[in-house]
Amino acid sequence: MARVLAQRYEGHQAELNPHPAQDTFKTHGSAVAPRVLLVEDDPDTVSYVRDGLSCAQIDLSVSENGIDGLTRIFAEKWDVIVLDRMLPGYDGLSILEKMRSEGITTPVIFLTAMDSVFNRVDGLRHGGDDYVVKPFAVRELLARIQVLFQRFSPVWQVTHLYLADVTFNLLTRDVTRSDEKILLQPQEMRLLEYFMRHPDTVLSRQMLLKHVWDMDFPVRTNVVETHLSRLREKLGRNGPALIHTVRGQGYVMSADTGAFQPNV
């Protein structure tokens, strides 16, 4: 079974993640690298995740059974827990129930081959925050870890956003790329912040209008395209394009330039 999953992972990795995970998290300044605990007994999955996240500067630890995983969950502080459903010792649902009953609110991502709708709903109803089905693309797992880390971390802890060589200081509102400051207008900053809080995620034009311009209704305007053009131009002075157009769907900000079509 492990060999079959490993082969399927390789296929997904080649298709969806042709490049290693980029430097989404960094540890300089006052930003903190997330501490992630992976509770997983399959060595192929552990190796795949560890290799895929090696460039993301995540503080990754691994427990290979439910008993050790539960012990470490209670003994240490974690930012995100990635939890298999089927484990020796304690299964994933039992671990989550014990966590939540003791008031541990650390966000949990289920990572499992149990892919039925019933299993997914069951995992979420037991207190899981996300559910990723095997086989999976490690780039997607990284993005989900990032979203949960930024959503659940205290405001004082998350003071910077990072994507590739772009740094957004949320306290000073300074934006730099390759350590060179980029001057942005207020609305351009809001647009960039929204993209950086949702990396590797296709954002539709209507989503951008709603969350950046507070327009919660269809409207005929080119405000999105205008500000995107300016933002792309300013970011592009110091490096390759990071904001990509996905035809017929919207826009995505990603350091993985090979995974998306060229800008239009």
Burial (Cβ within 10 Å: 0-12, 13-18, ≥19) of residue 246: middle
Whole-number pLDDT of residue 8: 44
Query: What is the SS3 assignment for 36?
Result: strand
- The secondary structure of residue 160, as a DSSP letter, is E
| Dihedral of the alpha carbons of 100, 106, 112, 116, in degrees to the nearest 10 | 60
Which of 117, 152, 187 is the last residue in one of the domains? 152
Q: With a cut of 70, which residues of the chain have pLDDT below it? A: 1-32, 153-158, 217, 257-264
Residue 12 lies in a domain: yes
Quote the pLDDT of residue 32.
57
Q: Is the residue at 239 inside a domain?
A: yes
Sign of CA dihedral 60, 61, 62, 67: negative
Closest of 102, 98, 100, 108 to residue 39, by C-alpha: 108
CA distance 51 to 166: 23
* Residue with token string 């395209």: 225
pTM of the model: 0.52
Q: What is the DSSP string of 169-184?
A: ETTT--EEETTEEE--
Task: Flag whether 19 is in a domain.
Answer: yes
For residues 123 and 22, membership in a common domain is answered with yes
Indicate if 234 and 105 belong to the same structural domain: no
Report yes or no on 165 lying in a domain: no
Kindly state whether residues 22 and 147 are assigned to the same domain.
Answer: yes
Residues 141 and 189 in one domain: no
Does residue 248 sit within a domain?
yes
> At 244, which amino acid appears?
H
Does residue 238 sit in the same domain as residue 193?
yes
Q: SS3 of 122, please? A: helix
Instruction: Examine residue 45 and state whether it is found in any structural domain, yes or no.
Output: yes
Q: Which helix (H) or strand (E) holds 159?
A: none
CB 34 within 8 A of CB 149: yes
Residues 219, 178 within the same domain: yes
Looking at the structure, do residues 43 and 74 belong to the same domain, yes or no? yes
* 8 A C-beta contact, residue 158 and residue 29: no
Please give the pLDDT value at position 147: 86
Instruction: Verify that 49 and 128 share a domain, yes or no.
Output: yes
**Tokens standing for 150?**
């930024």
In a domain, 114, yes or no: yes
The pLDDT score that the predictor gives to residue 155 is 45
State the amino acid at position 57 in one-letter form. Q
Contact 57, 33 (CB under 8 A): yes
The answer to whether 11 touches 142, Cβ cutoff 8 Å, is no
Rounded Cα distance, 199 and 211, in Å:
15
Count how many domains the chain has: 2
Task: Please tell me whether residues 6 and 111 are part of one structural domain.
Answer: yes
For residue 81, the SS3 value is strand
Residues 91 and 123 in one domain: yes
Question: Nearest-CA neighbor of 138 among 237, 60, 226?
Answer: 60
The SS3 of residue 76 is: coil
Indicate whether 249 and 215 sit together in one domain. yes
Structure tokens at 43: 């060595």
CATH number, domain containing residue 60:
3.40.50.2300
* 89 inside domain: yes
Q: Which of 100, 121, 152 represents a domain boundary (last residue)?
A: 152
pLDDT, position 211: 87
Which range marks the domain in which residue 10 is found? 2-152
